[in-house]
Amino acid sequence: MQVDFAIELGADDETLEFPWVAAEAGPRYYDLKRHPELLLSIAEASRFSELAEFLSAVNSPTSLFETAKCDA
C-alpha cells in the first residue's frame, strides 16, 4: 500500500491544541499512549473490536504515532 498526504497550514487556520480540553459535557482527550487502560473508557472501542485493536496498536509503546481526536 502506498499512502501520500500533504498538509499546509496558514497562520489563520484552525489548530488542535494537544492535549485538548473540551466543555464538561463534551468529548474529552484520552492519553492512550501513556495510559492504555483508558481505552476501556471509550464506548465506541467497546462496541467495535476493530477500533479497539487499531487504537491499541497506534498508541502502543513501539508505535511512532498516537491518536489525538476522533470526530464522528
Number of domains in the chain: 1
Q: How far from 5 is each of 2, 8, 13, 45, CA to CA, in Å?
A: 10, 10, 18, 26
Q: Tell me which residue range forms the domain holding 62.
A: 29-72
Q: Which pLDDT tens digit goes with each residue over 9-39?
A: 788 888 777 777 777 777 788 999 999 999 9
- Answer whether residue 1 is part of any domain: no
Q: Is residue 6 part of a domain?
A: no
Structural domain includes residue 45? yes
- At residue 72, the pLDDT reads 54
Q: Are 21 and 69 in contact (CB under 8 A)?
A: no
Burial environment of residue 42 by CB neighbours within 10 A (0 to 12, 13 to 18, 19 or more):
middle
On whether residue 47 sits in a domain, the answer given is yes
Residue 57 lies in a domain: yes
pTM above 0.75, yes or no: no
